[in-house]
Structure 1
Amino acid sequence: MTKTRTGRVLTIALATAGSLLLWAAGAPLSGRELLVGQGGTVTPIGPDAIVPAAVIAGVAAWVLLAMLEQAGRQRLYRPIASVVLVLSLAGPLTAAVDPATALSLAGLHTTVGMALIIGLPGLGSHAAGCKAVRTGTAR
């Protein structure tokens, strides 16, 4: 596995772990369940929903980044991913059965999203982009 691939797998794993930690602090440790309404039924949100959602988001973000890198447009990754994160907040904000759940689910989304936005391209890519702008070698 290449260094870049290893870093991206680790980023997805850490994003997932971060969301699980936030869930544990916001649900079981506080004695509450995170409940969402779906089609007239109320469903509890736990690790069985959080882990696949975080991994799917991570893989989708990685595919987007890979496509942008292939086209030489990787600098667009963070703005596009940020817009996707903001749009994804509509789900928890509208499906949660109470404000505390909405806030917790928005926190889970933001945790995973920010980890992927910052971590997938790596911090080095931002520094390299800044250097290219400073030296006049940016495309």
Structure 2
Amino acid sequence: MNTPMRRLLLTVIGAPAAALAVWALAVPLAGITLTARMGAAPQPVGPVLVIVASLVAGLAGWALLAVLERRATRPGRNWTIIALVVLVLSLSGPLTSAVGAAATVVLLLMHLVVGAVLIPGLVRAAT
């Protein structure tokens, strides 16, 4: 596996690892009840959901970057702008669906941590 591909893969794997670390500090260690309204009733936000959601975000970001690299003149710049907009929009999820102030803070932090890993990591790995 070549170095750029390895970096991309490590970045996509690093995002769920970072989000899971935040979850582990907040839920089992700090004892915060992490619950969000998903549909009709509040649901607990467990480690599987954290891993799957951040992995999907990483893979989607990687796919978009690959498309932009083939079609755009400045793929890194365009991707970074799109990724930042998506990150800001994603913050509305915890603000509107989290149950309680502590859950809101933890979910916002997880979104920001995933963005902090993916945005610079994917751009650097691709160039």
| TM-score, length of structure 1 as denominator length | 0.84
Q: What is the root-mean-square deviation in Å for CA atoms of aligned residues?
A: 1.4
Q: Using the alignment, how far apart are the partners of 2:55 and 2:48 within structure 1?
A: 12
**RCO higher in 1 or 2 (8 Å CA, sep ≥ 6)?**
2
Measure, in 1, the Cα distance between the counterparts of 2:55 and 2:125. Answer: 21
Bigger CA radius of gyration:
1
Q: How many angstroms apart in 1 are the aligned matches of 2:40 and 2:122?
A: 37
Q: How many residues align?
A: 125
Taking only the aligned residue pairs, the percentage that are identical comes to 42
Deviations 1:88-127 (A, max 9, x none): 11111100011110110011011111211000121784xx
Point out where structure 2 has 5 or more consecutive residues left out of the alignment. none
Q: For 1:98, which of 100, 113, 116 is the aligned residue?
A: 100
Q: Any runs of at least 4 consecutive aligned residues in structure 1 with deviations exceeding 4 A, and if so which?
A: none
User: What's 1:36 paired with?
Assistant: 36
1:73 Cα offset (Å): 2.6
Long gaps (5+) in structure 1: 126-139
CA drift of 1:53 comes to 0.4
Distance (Å, rounded) in 2 between the aligned partners of 1:67 and 1:117: 16
